[in-house]
Amino acid sequence: MSTDVKYAIQDVYPDDFSWCYGCGRLNEKGHHFRTGWGGDKTVTIYTPKAEHTAIPGFVYGGLLASLIDCHGTGSASLALHKKNGYMPEDGVEAPRFVTASLQVNYKKPTPQGHSLKAVGTIEELHPKKYKVHIEVFSGEICCATGEVVAVKMPESFGQSS
């Protein structure tokens, strides 16, 4: 299993939108999930910390949900950026997506102390809306699956509630 994502879409998110606790490169306390292309799939690799426990020895489900969430928005951003002609390594600011819905199925207890690999398959629902089908592996074992519907962040995001 590869242990790193060389060119991540989060590296080219606009600074103002790079504070996400899951994947923002500027959030010092966050997870720093990084999502890149792996062929026509998308990949995020992360090793949970010791405190990310469900019961001792196994990974917290909320951490898996967080990984799936940010992997979903990152995958959608990768897809639209590619459609616009860019790869993360081009250094061009990428579009930012937000999660409309998140679904997670926990298949197997996920052992701690190992890196996890989220693999995404992208489905375009609309030019500004993607569904990402995600599998999370520990070694060869698929521990969780999920789906994220990600929508391009509206210009008005956060300006009204």
Nearer to a second copy, 53 or 115 (CB): 53
Task: Note whether 111 binds a second copy by CB under 8 A.
Answer: yes
CB of 63 to a second copy, least distance (A): 7
- For a second copy, the binding residue among 11, 41, 82, 106 (CB under 8 A) is 106
Which residues pair with residue 45 across a beta bridge? 117
22 binds a second copy (CB under 8 A): yes
Closer residue to a second copy in complex, CB, 47/101: 101
Contact between 28 and a second copy per CB under 8 A? yes
> What string of DSSP letters covers 33-73?
--EEEETTEEEEEE---TT-BSSTTBB-HHHHHHHHHHHHH
The reply to whether 140 sits near a second copy by the rule CB under 8 A is: no
d(CA 126, CA 46): 29
Sole binder of a second copy in the list 7, 54, 135, 142 (CB under 8 A): 54
* Cα angle, residue 73 at apex, residues 70 and 117 outer, rounded to 5°: 45
What is the rounded distance in angstroms from the CA atom of residue 94 to the CA atom of residue 78? Answer: 8
Three-state secondary structure call for residue 29: coil
Which residues sit at the interface with a second copy, rule CB under 8 A?
16-17, 19-22, 24, 27-30, 51-58, 60-63, 65-66, 69-70, 98-106, 108-109, 111, 141, 153, 157-158, 161
